Structure 1
Amino acid sequence: MRPGDVVKLWLNHLAVERGRSANTLRNYRRDAQRYVDWLAQSGRRDLGEVTSLDLEAYVADLRRGYGDCAPLAASSAARALTVARGLHRFAVAEGLLTADVAAAVHPPRAGEKLPDTLSIDEVAALLDSCPADTPTQLRDKALLELLYASGARVSEALALNLDDVTGDEGVITVTGKGGKQRLVPVGAAARAALDVYLVRGRPALANGTSHALFLNKRGGALSRQSAWMVIKDAAERARLGKDISPHTLRHSFATHLLEGGADVRTVQELLGHSSVTTTQIYTHVTAENLREVWASAHPRSR
């Protein structure tokens, strides 16, 4: 039976017998039509010709994008697969198909895609692009150096007070989610940028009312939006050719540590993750890097 005809029967079943809302039916119709169009492009004219491999290829195309269809997020691709599975399940229940080939096809898992990171050279270009003449430039330089040196979330960096960075040499106190504090070491470059900012930059911005480390031109705490602009401007000066965010430096921090041989649980502690499972997303990159090195260097890799 033609996929489009099955879709009409299914949607009518959902409306009349299951009482689905107009909004739900509209969403199902859109996703079902996308599936029907994809099957037509793949040469599948009858729903009985579809295999589980076709469904897996459909999900893969949804994730990467195809034709005029832009790539979908894992959650959107999973919803589209749910519609396709519902269609096949209905066809089997109505005796239109003998086997449900979609039942064993699993949706993509959200969060499997690793966040974008910068290479070590790209981070160096970003940090080296910062001028350091005016008080705000000294602040911006210190902020960028600190974000990469500590792996702190931008919200954590902006919440830092003077007391958090003036304690033990080379260690700052970061307050994470749930008010949980952690000690994070920072390197010489970040420490030097902070020292210059504290001596020459912050006093010129301060009005005596805020204890925040990073101040705006009015003497108040720097906002998240302003921090985003600091990084965007630095990326443009460095001509990185990619759209980055404050979190990009956090992801780069974790990836570079693991590539350098750091233990995943140490990185977990530095990032302030409550579970090592969250940190392990970064190990996919290091594993891929190891595979690439092995493939290029091992005499029996080909």
Structure 2
Amino acid sequence: MPVLTQSPIQSFLDYLKFEKRYSRHTIVSYQNDLDQFFSFLASQYDGIPLKSITHSIVRSWVVELMEDEIQAKSINRKISALRSFFKYQLKTGVIEKTPMSNIIAPKVSKRLPTFVNEQDTKQLMEALNTATEDWKSLNAKMLFVLFYATGMRLSELINLKETQVDKSKSYIKVLGKGNKERVIPITKDVLTIIEDYRQQKRKVFEEPAEILLVTEKGKPLYAKYAYLLVKKYLGEQAKNLEKKSPHVLRHTFATHLTNNGADLNAVKELLGHASLAATQIYTHNTIEKLKDVYKKAHPKA
């Protein structure tokens, strides 16, 4: 990366960290996208100064990404990172004009969220209830119960502390994107499962971690551990799913809520979405159910 660009990038990343309070994961994504762009500049334009970067230069990078068959969604994320970066440079007086004004993001084909249907979810939970003979299978049960009961993101769940579970009020306080806090109600059954896990932790480990979920070694659960465990059980119990990841369980939580008549604004709050637009994808299955009811019940259908 050219030396000239290191200071503006670091300044921008510090702004995201300390002022915007973005998570480490989000900041790393921004850094990777910016590093990729400035590596392109170094190789194609000999490390051109920030003020000399034009929209045609940015467009040439976007074209290269498309030729490399990078998905439109990923390209749009990179363009968004650049927009934020140059907006910050404009705000701090490093540049006088942003090169992003005429950059058009490629269209993304709308993909409906993958989810587990209600019958398969019930069978999956029953299978997990009978398979808790070791710590790993106990963790599998906890992951599925908590993902399905709360709709939390993977990063939120693996960082969940015991103190964030309020037994007296039956809710969990979740620290989401941008360090925004939200409250998710949980049932007495889920509270009992959490409490049983906590008690087991204290029996098995001498100094249990303050993080709720831990590995067989008593260390806080990490993202890859949770991802692989969820993928394994989804692969065994829901074989027809196109995708098998923790996010599928978040989609399942939201889809089942909307299918059973939950208010969309309430689902938005539970998921921690910034806007209702992000939550509206979960109406897809409700609409399909309405079509089915219409076809079966309407005399002219």
**TM-score of Structure 1 vs Structure 2, range by shorter chain:** 0.5 to 0.7
Give me the whole-angstrom Cα distance separating, in 2, the residues matched to 1:259 and 1:171.
Answer: 23
Give me the whole-angstrom Cα distance separating, in 1, the residues matched to 2:213 and 2:263.
Answer: 31
- TM superposition shift of 1:169: 3.9
Gaps (5+ residues) in structure 2?
1-55, 77-104
Distance change (3 Å), C-alpha of 1:115 and 1:136:
same
Distance change (3 Å), C-alpha of 1:125 and 1:108:
farther
Give me the whole-angstrom Cα distance separating, in 1, the residues matched to 2:117 and 2:150.
Answer: 17
Which letter does structure 2 place at the counterpart of 1:110? V
Identical pairs, percent: 32
- TM superposition shift of 1:135: 3.2
Distance change (3 Å), C-alpha of 1:238 and 1:204:
farther
Structure 2 match to 1:230: 229
- TM superposition shift of 1:76: 9.4
Which letter does structure 2 place at the counterpart of 1:292? D
- TM superposition shift of 1:272: 0.4
- TM superposition shift of 1:108: 7.9
Structure 2 match to 1:174: 174
Structure 2 match to 1:121: 119
Paired residues of 1:136 and 1:217 also in contact (CA < 8 A): yes
Which letter does structure 2 place at the counterpart of 1:192? T
Count, aligned residues: 215
Which letter does structure 1 place at the counterpart of 2:146? L
Which letter does structure 2 place at the counterpart of 1:183? V
Q: How does 1:137-286 map to 2 (within 5 A)?
A: 137-200=137-200, 202-208=201-207, 210-242=209-241, 243-286=243-286
**Per-residue deviation, residues 67-107 of structure 1 (Å, max 9, x unmatched):** xxxxx9555999xxxxxxxxxxxxxxxxxxxxxxxxxxxx9
**Per-residue deviation, residues 151-187 of structure 1 (Å, max 9, x unmatched):** 0011111111010114434211111001111110123
Distance change (3 Å), C-alpha of 1:210 and 1:272:
same
Paired residues of 1:75 and 1:110 also in contact (CA < 8 A): yes
Paired residues of 1:150 and 1:184 also in contact (CA < 8 A): yes
Gaps (5+ residues) in structure 1?
1-17, 32-71, 79-106
Structure 1 match to 2:96: none
Structure with the greater relative contact order (CA < 8 A, sep ≥ 6): 1 or 2?
Answer: 2
CA radius of gyration, larger in: 1
Query: Hey, which bits of structure 1, 4+ residues long, moved more than 6 A?
Result: 18-23, 25-28
Q: Report the aligned-residue RMSD.
A: 3.3
**Per-residue deviation, residues 33-90 of structure 1 (Å, max 9, x unmatched):** xxxxxxxxxxxxxxxxxxxxxxxxxxxxxxxxxxxxxxx9555999xxxxxxxxxxxx
Paired residues of 1:142 and 1:190 also in contact (CA < 8 A): no
- TM superposition shift of 1:115: 1.6
Paired residues of 2:62 and 2:75 also in contact (CA < 8 A): no
Give me the whole-angstrom Cα distance separating, in 1, the residues matched to 2:262 and 2:207.
Answer: 41
Give me the whole-angstrom Cα distance separating, in 1, the residues matched to 2:224 and 2:254.
Answer: 23
Q: Taking structure 2 as the reference length, what is the TM-score of the superposition? A: 0.62
- TM superposition shift of 1:111: 6.1
